[in-house]
Amino acid sequence: MTTADEAAEASEREAIAGAAAGVQKIVDALQGGDVAMGRMETAWQTVAQAADGFARSARQARVLGINASIEAASIDRSGGFAIVAERVRALSTTTLATARDVEAIAQQSRAAVADTIASTRRTRDALVELGTLLATVAGVIGAQRDDLVRRIGATVDQVRAYGDEVDGGASRMLTATDRIETLVNRLADIAGDAQLLAINAAIEAARAGERGLGFTVIADGIAELSRETGETSEAVIATVVKLRERTGRLRAGSAQQAVALTEVHDLLQRGFRTTL
């Protein structure tokens, strides 16, 4: 073996070793990913449960609106009561539609989390396989070596594809957090409107005296639903903020992985002196 051949072989070993180290670095970065993704799945489940709560409140508000209409019809001074009843029913309809949108987005995001977890695991498995191939190729020559090099190139492409899937899932979840935040802010506004309706209902009930006692109960029910919706909205917004932070870190990690994989690819091309 000539000095040039020895130098080329040493350069190849160095490049392969560098690539193997880069692969291990990515694998290490993926450790604990299942735990982080599990927390994201739990957070989206919390959002879905909150949406169910919003829907229940909307149905209860509809019942209150119907009862308010009945009370309005039984009182001579029914103008104010009728307006409150109509507004309660309208808010109920809007709340229910918004709650269904929130639940749909939350369920879609849970599916995106599941897909991303699967892609992350496939990425990790492919990287482990890549590490094994790199450990094997150094001592192989001839056609078998060419086959290993092709498998290494295909595995690198697989890892890239899985990384794109992870990034795509993170992108969908980030979009979902923006949509959820908009919808929940709308629900918070509805809760504020309901609170005003409760005050108006209480005023109308007080004006009606004993005949307005039934409406007083309705006013209290509206106020309670308003409070519950407002508190749940605040809790969901807090959850969305955490989800956005975690999803942002996931995308950042995916970008770092792509950079690291490019470095691995470049090292391998230098080592094998071929296009993978």
3-state helix/strand/coil string of 151-204: HHHHHHHHHHHHHHHHHHHHHHHHHHHHHHHHHHHHHHHHHHHHHHHHHHHHHH
The domains of the chain, with CATH numbers, are 13-272 (1.10.287)
Q: By the 8 A CB rule, do 64 and 218 touch?
A: yes
Between 3-30 and 213-272, two packed helices, what is the crossing angle to 10 degrees? 170
Q: By the 8 A CB rule, do 15 and 271 touch?
A: yes
- The token pair at 112 is 């995106």
Report pTM: 0.85
Rounded CA-CA distance 33/38 in Å is 8
The pLDDT assigned to 211 comes to: 81
Rounded CA-CA distance 203/260 in Å is 67
The pLDDT assigned to 1 comes to: 53
pLDDT in tens, the chain (276 residues): 567 667 777 888 888 888 889 999 888 888 877 788 889 999 999 999 999 999 999 999 999 999 888 888 877 555 778 888 899 999 999 999 999 999 999 999 999 999 999 999 999 999 999 999 988 887 777 778 888 888 999 999 999 999 999 999 999 999 999 999 999 999 999 999 999 999 988 988 888 888 888 889 999 999 999 999 999 999 999 999 999 999 998 988 888 889 999 988 888 888 777 666
The pLDDT assigned to 207 comes to: 84
The pLDDT assigned to 276 comes to: 64
Side chain identity at 24, as an amino acid letter? Q
How many CB atoms are closer than 10 A to CB 275? 6
